[in-house]
Amino acid sequence: MATLGHASEEEHFDIYDEAGAWLGTAPRSEVHARGLWHRSIHCWLVRRDGNRKLVLFQQRSSDKDTYPGFYDITAAGHLTAGESMRDAAREIEEELGAPVPYEALIPLGEARKEAAGFAKGAAFVDREVSEVYGFVYDAPLGSLILQAEEVAGVYEADLEEMIALFDGELDLAEAAGFRLGPDYQQLPSTVQVKASDFVTRPSSYYSGVFRALLLHL
């Protein structure tokens, strides 16, 4: 099918109907303005620290169009037109500055999201289908090199505490990590996080993913 729109310099996404049939491509702005279904990848990193089982999550840059400063998936991204999940996994490496080979990703299923809001004053509707993966990271948190325009910091917290947080059994969970300073240096940081500090998704998404990750550590 022909590409929708004419913004050749703008990023384009493959678009789908609700049943998942491919319809063509469209510019990113049109995809979000019209609420067209598109695909993305979610990748959650986990690691062991002695007997502790930890999940890593990022803090979004304050310059992001949507949910600036919120906590989010360790790394995630849209698939541009023609990209495969393998291609998208390479972009995760760019965001985190660490090797995340596609072959080592742990498939955790599919997540569908429909959300509406405003980004820089313009209304958007986000309809995306995401393939969710886990990855066991065996290096220290400080070895990550963050893509500053996307990520303001990265933290890790106990997996079981995070499950309790999103199950509503805890009000706060403690996380430790680092944020990027003015010269992109790593500044150690400890934060107390609430479920509402994370990008808006069903609580069951977070607790379900964390339970699945726990089985792989």
Give me the domains of the chain, ranges plus CATH numbers. Answer: 12-214 (3.90.79.10)
Half-sphere exposure of 74 (CA within 13 A, CB side): 32
Q: Given CA atoms 102, 27, 147, 130 in this order, what sign does their dihedral have?
A: negative
pLDDT tens-digit series, residues 182-214: 999 999 999 999 999 999 999 999 999 999 999
pTM surpassing 0.85? yes
Q: Tell me the DSSP string of 88-157.
A: HHHHHHHHHTS---GGG-EEEEEEEEEEEEEETTEEEEEEEEEEEEEEE--S-GGG----TTTEEEEEEE
> What confidence score (pLDDT) does residue 91 get?
81
How far is CA 62 from each of CA 153, 165, 174, 195, rounded to the nearest angstrom?
11, 24, 21, 19
pLDDT tens-digit series, residues 11-22: 999 999 999 999
